[in-house]
Amino acid sequence: MSAPVRYAASRPFPRYAYVPGEHPHPTGDPAGHSYTGAPEPPAPYHAARDWEHNDEYLFGVDLYNAGFLWEAHEAWEGLWHSAKHDALQAEFLQGLIQCAASALKVRMKQPAGVVKLAGHGLGRLARVAEQTRGEYMGLDVRAFVDAFRAFAQSQPSDYDERPRLVLTS
């Protein structure tokens, strides 16, 4: 598979893709790739229409596409918290978070977790697609839902087979 497009190319990837039980916790262990010893500041809210200028959202897409699944989850989680007053955006971000976690469960060889998290995430993203004519924050949500559903239902053994997030203007 060719290298995906980078949307936040100025931000470097972490030294490793965190997998629970295999690596030091990125923020909780002094040996972690993102350890600072300080709590993360809250993420600012960005309206969905400004997604092209939301560096943390774009970096989360890059992380997910490059296989940094836990890190993508973390990038989007701060945005999800700041968007809780915006129900549609919060639903979208939580759907992406759960799909990233589902793909991580493939890597962790936990098939029940793959199915469960994919079901939750895809349900959220399908609701977003219904309310937005299928596209939201640059993503063809319907196409991603269909592709991720096929991935999750295939009983995947390789997380790298997950569909990538392709954003359009």
For residue range 68-101, list pLDDT tens digits in order: 999 999 999 999 999 999 999 999 999 999 999 9
3-class secondary-structure state, position 136: strand
The model's pTM: 0.93
CATH assignment of 48-161, given 3.40.50.1000, 1.10.3450.10, 3.40.30.10, 3.40.190.10? 1.10.3450.10
Q: Is pLDDT of 32 > 90?
A: no
Give the residue carrying structure tokens 């589902």: 102
DSSP of 76-141, one letter per residue? HHHHHHHTTTSHHHHHHHHHHHHHHHHHHHHHTT-HHHHHHHHHHHHHHHHHHHHHHTTEETTEEH
**Is the CB of residue 160 less than 8 Å from the CB of residue 1?**
yes
3-class secondary-structure state, position 84: coil
* pLDDT, tens digit, 9 for 90 and up, residues 114-126: 999 999 999 999 9
DSSP state letter for 1: -
